[in-house]
Amino acid sequence: MNHTDWKLLKEIAELEKTPQGAYNIRRNGQLDSRASTANIEITTKTEPDKPGIDIRIKSGTRNESVHIPVIITQTGMSEMVYNDFFIGEDCDVDIVAGCGIHNTGCETSQHDGEHTFYVGKNSKVRYVERHYGEGPGTGKRVMNPRTVVYLEEGASIHMETTQIRGVDSTKRETKVVAARGAEVVITEKLLTHGDQTAESDMEIILDGADANGRVISRSVAQDGSRQVFYPRMTGNAKCFGHVQCDSIIMGQAKISSIPAIVANSVDAQLIHEAAIGRIAGDQILKLMTLGLTEQEAEEKILDGFLQ
Amino acid sequence: MNHTDWKLLKEIAELEKTPQGAYNIRRNGQLDSRASTANIEITTKTEPDKPGIDIRIKSGTRNESVHIPVIITQTGMSEMVYNDFFIGEDCDVDIVAGCGIHNTGCETSQHDGEHTFYVGKNSKVRYVERHYGEGPGTGKRVMNPRTVVYLEEGASIHMETTQIRGVDSTKRETKVVAARGAEVVITEKLLTHGDQTAESDMEIILDGADANGRVISRSVAQDGSRQVFYPRMTGNAKCFGHVQCDSIIMGQAKISSIPAIVANSVDAQLIHEAAIGRIAGDQILKLMTLGLTEQEAEEKILDGFLQ
């Protein structure tokens, strides 16, 4: 791996060297390196039409992590990858995924990934996913992640997804089904600029009694970019769900927020809030009186909003 | 008109006698009575395939009202009516519409109405519409209103729509386009019970600078009834829009709230809030300690919510 590869790994997974614990680094459509541990086994899928890996985590695994970053530095490269996570009972693990594309050419580089999580009873998963694009080429950088999560009784997932910069087009699909007493918390952060487009389609199904769901979506649309959000929270039992979408609109950008809350049980309690607006002028003024330029003040506010 | 007719008129338009000012009472698909005034002219449409009336209100008309109730007491009656309102500039008028169906038979009685409002510069319209069904028959009572409003510069409409009880199936469609400085305020109240279904599809387009929109939707779904809401607020200019949907779910009812806020301008500020939940148990308990039965307490809370 060269300097560009490491720069991408740092952006998407905060890696400066080979990670601790289990990992699988995919580079330009090939396995670059991999390590399993006593509790976490990573194997290549054997189906010829389904490239990707299986990650098996033994019941009772705690305080371990898995890193599975994907980097692409080859222009014109396009791939579809399937990763399945089989997580036993009573685990407590961190999973760090992400994709970085450095495109120097004129062809589109694209990574589509489908991650499916089967989370066993009372297991806790923290899932972090970062997307980042860069490179002087005119070729597009495209990422379409699909994430499907099945939470068994008492299981939980805390998902943090971030699209930092440089992704020309993305269509995100997320589906979570929560059984009795399960918990899902999704924090989504998205910044688009230039003429980028982003769509995020999310479906949270609170299926079991005392399931709990929370979605916090924060986005910034700059320049002529376009964003569309479809967060959907369905309550089929006694449950509590909260969806909150806040967007800052700038330049000639356009944003649509089209949430849905669906109560199929009298004991489902569901709340949705959404707001779209520009940065308040007085916030910028206040920071300018402290000595910042208008642009610095704007950046400060966006950093705070997306932190 | 008989006792049943007057009971329906009281429910939908609070009329106990022939109204003051301009009016048009439609009964079982026929004109029952009509009055125009010096400033408000009501005429029957002449297109054979478009039954209905035209209401022309002269510029400068103030503190006048138009009542246009529709009542149906005949089972198996089904009609589609088109009413167009041409409202001049600088008016300030009240328009009271509504439909009451008393169905004693076994066939469906249905009223579909399309109301289109052209509201001139700086005119203020208050539009009240009530829907109500009753009768011992097994025939359904169905009402599908479509309301389209074009607000010119500085015009405003305050719409209050209420579906009280007894409407088996309704599909409401509302579209408002607001020009510069125009204001739209919609208050929607809806109660469904039994196995009734209700759908409300609303589109508010804030098209001109300083347009202002506010939607307050309150609903109660009892028994096995179903409700679906699609309020959509689009900002194409410097504008402010706020959508608020609150629903109380009871019994085996199901409610979906699927709003959309769409910002097509950096100066559009749009907010949406929605909540679905059951009546809080402690609210009922509090009223019961004051001597109310559980059922009385529930009714009190619903009355307050929909008042």
pLDDT tens for each residue of B163-188? 978 899 999 999 999 999 999 999 99
C-alpha span between A121 and A178 (Å, rounded) = 11
CA–CA dist B152, B289 (Å, integer): 53
**Residue of B203, B222, B232, B261 to mutate for A, most A C-beta atoms under 10 A:** B261
**A164 pLDDT higher than 80:** no
In this structure, how many other beta carbons lie within 10 angstroms of the beta carbon of residue A307? Answer: 7
User: What does the pLDDT average to over A277-297?
Assistant: 87
In this structure, chain A runs to a length of 307
Residue A203 has pLDDT above 80, yes or no: yes
- Rounded Cα distance between A22 and A19, Å, is 8
| Cα–Cα distance, B43 to B65 (Å, whole number) | 16
Determine the residue of chain B that is closest to A277 in CA distance. B269
Angle at B26 between CA B21 and CA B32, to 5 degrees: 80
pLDDT at A282: 81
Helix, strand or coil for residue A198? strand
Cβ–Cβ < 8 Å for A145, A163: no
Which stretch of DSSP H or E encloses residue B156? Answer: strand B156-163
> For A22-51, what is the mean pLDDT?
94
Residue of B nearest to A275 (CA): B271
CA triple B226-B230-B231, angle to 5 deg: 130
Interface probe for B, chosen from A192, A205, A225, A255 (most Cβ of B below 10 Å), is A255
Q: What is the pLDDT of residue B289?
A: 87
Q: CA B258 to CA A233: how far, in whole Å? A: 10
pLDDT digits (tens, 9 = 90+) for B22-72: 999 999 999 999 999 999 999 999 988 899 999 999 999 999 999 999 999
Which residues partner with B269 through β-bridges? B240
Of A118, A7, A125, A120, nearest in space to A69 by CA: A7
What's the mean pLDDT in A115-119?
97
Q: Is B250 exposed, middle or buried (0-12, 13-18, 19+ CB in 10 A)?
A: middle
Spatial contact of B22 and B36, defined as CB atoms under 8 Å apart: yes
Share of chain B above pLDDT 70, in %: 100
- Mean pLDDT over A31-48 rounds to 95
pLDDT score, position B304 = 86
Q: Which residues pair with B162 in a beta bridge?
A: B130, B189
Our CA angle for A249, A254, A256, nearest 5°, is 95
Query: What's the whole-number mean pLDDT along residues B193-209?
Result: 96
pLDDT tens-digit series, residues A177-198 = 999 999 999 999 999 999 999 9
What is the per-residue pLDDT for A253?
96
Of the pLDDT bands very low, low, confident and very high (cuts 50, 70, 90), residue B155 is very high
- Average pLDDT (A228-257) is 95
What pLDDT, in 10s, does the model give residues A81-113?
Answer: 999 999 999 999 999 999 999 999 999 999 999
Q: Do B276 and A270 touch (CB under 8 A)?
A: yes
The shortest CB-CB distance from A261 to any of B257, B264, B266 is to B257
Task: Please report the pLDDT score of residue B25 as a whole number.
Answer: 94
Return the residue of B nearest to A264 by Cα: B254
Vertex A227: Cα angle to A221 and A232 (nearest 5): 130
Alpha-carbon distances, residue B179 vs A124, B117, B121, B146, B184 (angstroms): 52, 14, 10, 20, 10
The verdict on B280 touching A (C-beta cutoff 8 Å) is no
Is A226 in CB contact (< 8 Å) with chain B? no
A291 CB-near residues (< 8 Å, 6+ apart): none
Average pLDDT value for residue range B73-85: 93
In angstroms, rounded to a whole number, what is the distance separating the alpha carbons of residues B36 and A166?
A: 65
User: Which residue reads 């469904």 in tokens?
Assistant: B192
Nearest-CA neighbor of A243 among A176, A167, A300, A303?
Answer: A176
Contact B192, B253 (CB under 8 A): yes
Which of B247, B263, B271 is the closest to A255 by Cβ? B263
pLDDT band at A307; cut points 50, 70, 90: confident
Does any CB of chain A come closer than 8 Å to the CB of residue B223?
Answer: no
Query: By the CB < 8 Å criterion, does A269 face chain B?
Result: yes
Least confident segment among A264-273, B83-92, B292-301:
B292-301
Nearest-by-CA chain B residue for A221: B266
Spell out which residues of chain A touch residue B272, defining contact as CB-CB under 8 Å: 257, 259, 272-275
Looking at residue B146, its pLDDT comes to 96
- Separation between Cα atoms, residue A275 and residue A191, nearest integer Å: 16
State which amino acid sits at residue B166: G
ipTM of this predicted complex? 0.84
B261 and chain A in contact, CB less than 8 A:
yes
What is the pLDDT at residue A64?
96
Would the pLDDT of B112 be above 90?
A: yes
Q: A49 or B158: which carries more pLDDT confidence?
A: B158
Q: Contacts of residue A257 in chain B, CB cutoff 8 Å?
A: 260-262, 272
pLDDT recorded at residue A165 = 84
Instruction: Tell me how far CA of residue B94 lies from CA of A290, B21, B38, B189, in angstroms.
Output: 53, 10, 16, 19
